[in-house]
Structures are given as C-alpha cells and as structure tokens.
Chains A and B, each alone.
Chain A
C-alpha cells in the first residue's frame, strides 16, 4: 500500500530562517515523489519532482530511499513562501497519494 506521512500540520518560521518540511513515504516499488504547493486562494500546483532534481523558488528535496523520506528544504524562507505544502507519492497504477499537508507560515 502507498502511504505518505507529513508529521507537521503547522510550521511557523521567521523570514530568513531555514525551513524543512518533512515527508516520509511507504511504498514497496520504485517511488516517484513530488511536492505540490497551494498558495492562498490559488489552485494546487506542482513545486518540484525528485526525478528532475531541480530547485524551484529556492526549494530543494532529496529522495532518501534508506530513510524513505523526501523532505523539502529552503535555506532562507521568504514571506511569499507561506502556503500549504503537500508531499505526493506516485505508484505503478498512476495514482498519486498525497499527505495531509503542512501549512507553512513565514513571519516577518
């Protein structure tokens, strides 16, 4: 079975501080991991995917198969990063399994 755990429902940091949003997954096959973001009053949008190993808006995420984790990191948080972040796991039957999300608030 596919499962995604985001242990923090809420995360609050100050502007300029590092931020790490945790994601752990459970999957017996070869996983495809994604981070989606939803800004206030906007639709859910893809932030990054592990397969492309890219950095978007200063965010990076490394897939750690040993720890079954895909944590999202940014060295210096900005106020505009405040949003809801969802980690998602792709499986062999094409479905995406989402975590419950972490609401990030970056305070000035």
Chain B
C-alpha cells in the first residue's frame, strides 16, 4: 500500500489567484473526497468523486472544482482565491465510498495573502 499522497505540502498564493492541489489515491481506491480544515475546526466536506464523476458536494461555491483521473489521482482547483480560503486541504480515498473508512493524506497547507 502506498497510502494517499498530496502535493504540494505548503503553498502561498495571493488573493484573486488560482490554485491547483493534487492527490494520489491509495492503490485500489476508486473514491476520493476533498476536505477543508480551518484552524481549530474539524474537516469540512468539499466534494467527492467516484469513478471520475462528482457524486456529492458540500456547501462550497462553484469556484471550488475538481477532477478525478482514470488512475484515480485527483485535483482540487480553487479560482479567485479569498483570504478565507486559507486552510489545510485534505484528500481522502476509499474503496466504494465512506462505509469502508477513508485513508487521509497529510494535506496541503494553503495560505492566501
């Protein structure tokens, strides 16, 4: 098992810019979810992809978008960055959804200045 890897680990962007975060799912996992974790809070669900299709979305605006590729790697894109987007972004993968529990990556710390 290779686990879930995320890149980059840290990132600083300017307000209004766009950012792409990347995630490599654990081998054999066909479901990937993205979470935003603000300081002192639990992770908040952004969206989930299952077999390359988005199949669930949280309360995040459309400027948060994603992709899942045939090899089950994934991207989170955020356009028009705002200061409040500063957070830890977590990627989590699983086999056939949440019932089997998610494997989390270490996250990407995004700072918007």
**Which A residues have a C-beta under 8 Å from some C-beta of B?**
4, 32, 34, 36, 43-46, 49, 51, 86, 88, 90, 93-101
**Which B residues have a C-beta under 8 Å from some C-beta of A?**
31, 33, 35, 40-45, 48, 50, 55-56, 58, 90, 97-99, 101-107
Assuming the contacts A32-B99, A46-B101, asked whether A94 and B50 have C-beta atoms less than 8 A apart, the reply is: yes
Assuming the contacts A43-B107, A99-B42, A100-B41, asked whether A94 and B102 have C-beta atoms less than 8 A apart, the reply is: no
State how many angstroms separate the Cβ of A58 from the closest Cβ of chain B.
19
Do the beta carbons of A94 and B101 come within 8 Å of each other?
Answer: no
Do the beta carbons of B56 and A95 come within 8 Å of each other?
Answer: yes
A-B CB pair tally, cutoff 8 Å: 58
Assuming the contacts A94-B55, A95-B56, A95-B58, asked whether A46 and B48 have C-beta atoms less than 8 A apart, the reply is: no
Once bound together, how far apart are the Cα atoms of A49 and B41, in whole Å? 21
Do the beta carbons of B98 and A32 come within 8 Å of each other?
Answer: yes
Q: Which of B48, B103, B104, B106 contacts A94 (CB 8 A)?
A: B48
Do the beta carbons of A46 and B102 come within 8 Å of each other?
Answer: yes
Do the beta carbons of B99 and A96 come within 8 Å of each other?
Answer: no
Do the beta carbons of A95 and B33 come within 8 Å of each other?
Answer: yes
Name which residue of chain B comes closest to A101, CB basis: B42
Do the beta carbons of A94 and B31 come within 8 Å of each other?
Answer: yes
